[in-house]
Amino acid sequence: MTSKVTYLGELRTSSVHIQSGSEIISDAPLDNNGKGEAFSPTDTVANALASCMLTVMGIKARALDVDFAGATADVTKHMQAEPRRISRIEVHFDMGISVDEKTKTILERTAMTCPVYLSLHPDIEKVVSFAWKG
């Protein structure tokens, strides 16, 4: 088992990761009857994309002896109304380092092969950009 999700009432859930015990709280968003006091379930999907991309780049970067600790990703999720679903996810990476073109290409291509990217429905538009120093 990966996690246990409990409905807490008031359109809020608690998700506990079985292996680590860490917890994620989710709320329905303001535009869907919620309080918007935590990530919504669709926010976590969009966030998972950036987190996964950074993780697989980190794995590849380690093999290339490149340290980009401190890199950030700005994530913007767009919803469509009918049917209500994620229509577009924008991820802008600020890598915070300068590397040669070959390394940039390797890391950027690696990001586009992360499991979340490959698992998202093809109708979800994914717009990804990278900013490198130098």
pLDDT tens for 30-64 read 999 999 999 999 999 999 999 999 999 999 999 99
pTM, 2 dp? 0.95
Strands 12-17 and 125-131: unpaired
Please say whether the dihedral angle defined by the alpha carbons of residues 10, 75, 126 and 5, taken in this order, is positive or negative.
Answer: negative
In the chain, which stretches have pLDDT less than 50?
Answer: none
Token output for 85: 């679903």
